[in-house]
Amino acid sequence: MDYKEYFAQYQDLIPDYSEFLECLKKQHRQYFCINTLKIRTHEEKERLLEILRQKNIQFEPVQEVPFFYRVVNNEEVSLGNLEEYSLGLIHSMTLASSLPVIALDPKPGDLVLDLCAAPGGKTCLIAILTQDKATVVANDKRVDRLTALVANLKRLGVASAITTRYRGEQFPFGIPFNKVLVDAPCSGEGRYRVGLEGEILYQKGHGKTNLQSIQKGLLVRAFDLLSPGGVLVYSTCTINPKENEEVVDYLLRKRQAKLVDWVSPLPYHEGVTEWEGKPYHPDLRLTKRYYTHKIDAVGFFVAKIIKLV
């Protein structure tokens, strides 16, 4: 399907729509974060950055998000091939992937569940932000994805994470978590790019008819695993309100859940409270939409929820 035909359904939703369409023709921007579990001092950080410069990696700091850097010579660089990546001194991940973790606000001593954790970027960022002093249960249902998750944890030197393999909707009850992250499987529209003939190049989750059912099941289970007063963050990398606001709306109507605001380091647009004639809970405006042409990164949706006592 031609990209203009596909995204026409969101024309009234996406701000500066023509700018968005042009952005889809560009390659995804590369970002990396410094692993402060291995790079502990200012001197070590400066030495690492100088080594990267000597390898012709041109980059600039992302002032809004600590530890993150934006690659300037994007098309000339493959971060995953660098020795510094293999050694776990840096980690490559899109800037927007930091947003759910920032919303979760993990602290040393927290008991955190990352329900759909593989390949582990957000789990690793939780460890970095807490200096490996939170306990993180990193779960995924697929063995192949868990292999990638474990490899990233080892490469970055994360010691605080425990890996488990369950279907997220059936994760067992036990000791309640005070923070849970659900970065749900989705249609991935925030990652879409287009080819020379206008074809959509990335459609990993497109066509799955049960995505919304899976997302609702994950979110309700995650909420039930929380301790009273606990924090739940739901995120996707898609645009579709049926996978975003409508899923959160379902939770608000099923459980004693409350949406809360949080300070975003990047520009966002409020969540929608109605889509295709269907009204949602008015608090859905507290959710945050990030569009790729506004943040120069993968598009994202983030909702922060607390469990009422």
Residue ranges at the known binding site for S-adenosyl-L-methionine: 116-122, 140, 183
| DSSP 8-state assignment for residue 88 | T
Do the beta carbons of residue 32 and residue 92 sit within 8 Å? yes
Tokens of 134: 């939170």
Helices (H) and strands (E) in the chain, counts: 10, 15
Do the beta carbons of residue 184 and residue 234 sit within 8 Å? yes
What are the residues whose beta carbons fall under 8 Å from the beta carbon of 99, sequence distance 6 or more?
235, 264, 265, 266, 288, 290, 300, 302
Strands 226-236 and 257-259: unpaired
C-alpha 123/C-alpha 116 separation (Å) is: 10
Whether the CA torsion 271, 276, 278, 279 is positive or negative: it is positive
Catalytically annotated residue among 33, 124, 186, 237: 237
186 catalytic? Reply is no
C-alpha 90/C-alpha 67 separation (Å) is: 10
C-alpha 146/C-alpha 163 separation (Å) is: 8
Residues labelled catalytic? 237
